[in-house]
Amino acid sequence: MENVAKLDEVLEEKGYDKTKVIKWIISILMMFTPMLIQLNENYTGNIRTFFMITILVIMIWAFELMPLAAPALVLPIVYVSFGLATPAQAFSPWTTEMPWLFIGGMIISNVFDRTGLMKRMAITAIKIAGGTYRGILLGFLIVGLILCIIIPSTAARTTLFLPIAYGIITALGLKKNTKEAIAIMATSSFMALTPWTIVDGINLIAYSIAKNFGVNLSWVAYMKEMGLMTFILSCVYIGAVLFFYRGNAEIFRKENNFKTKDYFEKEYSKLGKITTSEKKVMLVLGVMVTILCTSSIHNVSAGWVFAIGAFCFYLPGINVADEKDIKSVNMAMIILMTGAMTIGAVSMATGTGAFIGRILTPFLKGSSFEIVSVSWLIGVIVNFLLTPLAAASALTQPLVEAAIENGISPTVILNSYAVGLEQIIFPYEYVLPLMMFSYGIMTLKEFVKIYLLKMILSLLFLLVVCVPYWGILGLL
């Protein structure tokens, strides 16, 4: 105990954070765990080195020992330096559509917010839905559905949705930790985080990697396989929230409906008439959506559509974007996403993906219900350890290879896995729900309850609705 006390004194004198030092020690010890497994013809030296480097980076991310983009920035360099991949392989994520899609999406998001079109859409959707408690929740569903097509970033949508939800809660005088406040805040987060399209959130990374194995799914084909299911699942979430979190607050009583409607009418009137800039933004977005919906005809990648769409905002005659919209693009998030994809690229180069795939193959056998359940469960478990982006990158290849080995449609496995990755129990598991939790609208206990409800519903929906539907499509 004396030695521990002395160590504490030394750390304090040197200005070190004791907790951080402990986390670094744990991270370094974890890095050496692959050394405990004996090398053989399947578990090669390169695979072991890959695991050691990747585990250290993941631990740094998990413990937030430095800004998340910092290790992602050097990760491909480290892989190349240790001879695990060529520069072309390690830096291949930068040659995909993903960075350009994200940059374009962030610029579009900035313009969308600055012109006031985002708030106009949200208030309009809530008004159309009745302006009541139910209308507020349905409004987030409607806007979430529209925004998922034009803003393929869960982070951007979360940043846009949360202040609106918090503003509604405050304006209507709802107390913290009440059912209504929890429902509005959580629903805004659910709808912002749902990956509706193939270029959205974790789907973008997963399907970019899956392309290397012949899994080529168009934007429209994905909407048919999973987009429709995602919409129905979102409706199920809303229904469950309305059932378990009934709006019994005085402001939501029938006789007071005029008060909530009056609030949204006033908010809408503050926006004034729709401006020329908003009309121009809608025109460009309309063209983009048309191109995305016809991608099976012209085969133009979604990433290029978003990059060109952002560029069009600067053209003479349109000119609705300015320099700030580019400068405020979150480059750290782009570096993090490409860094996460680097893990998948080097996993393929070293044979690590195939190694993990052989381990997973026996578990992805059996009935359709078993296959979907296991895929979902893998996502839930991995989410405790990795960020969703890192998890999508690290396990996409093994899951696709296991699916091919077992003669199963890889898209079924990936979609079930993605739904699992969306599920969390504690705020620390994912920074975006943590952002929502930081508003202080609900206690940790209430956060766990509502996200646990979401988790249970997601699995039941996969088994009861998705499995039969995918069977009809011939995927199972």
pLDDT tens for 179-237 read 889 999 999 889 888 877 777 777 877 888 888 778 888 878 888 888 889 999 999 99
- Confidence category of residue 251, pLDDT binned at 50, 70, 90: low
Q: Which of 208, 105, 224, 205 is nearest to 155 (CA)?
A: 105
Q: What was the pLDDT predicted at 353? A: 76
Q: What was the pLDDT predicted at 202? A: 78
Q: What was the pLDDT predicted at 139? A: 85
- Confidence category of residue 338, pLDDT binned at 50, 70, 90: confident
CA distance 305 to 92: 20
Q: Is the pLDDT assigned to residue 428 strictly greater than 70?
A: no
Report which of residues 375 and 63 the model is more confident about.
375
- Mean pLDDT computed over 341-356: 82
7-46 confidence digits (pLDDT tens): 566 656 666 677 888 899 999 999 999 999 999 988 999 9
CA distance 466 to 56: 37
Give the rounded percent of residues in the chain with a pLDDT score beyond 70: 93
39 backbone dihedrals φ, ψ, rounded to 5°: -70, 145
CA distance 239 to 134: 9
- Mean pLDDT computed over 322-334: 85
101-158 confidence digits (pLDDT tens): 778 878 887 888 788 887 787 778 777 777 788 888 888 888 888 877 777 777 778 8
62-94 confidence digits (pLDDT tens): 788 888 889 989 999 999 999 999 999 999 888
The sign of the CA dihedral 134, 137, 138, 143 is: positive
- Mean pLDDT computed over 331-349: 82
- Confidence category of residue 256, pLDDT binned at 50, 70, 90: low
Q: What was the pLDDT predicted at 145? A: 81
Q: Is the pLDDT assigned to residue 259 strictly greater than 80?
A: no
Q: What was the pLDDT predicted at 397? A: 82
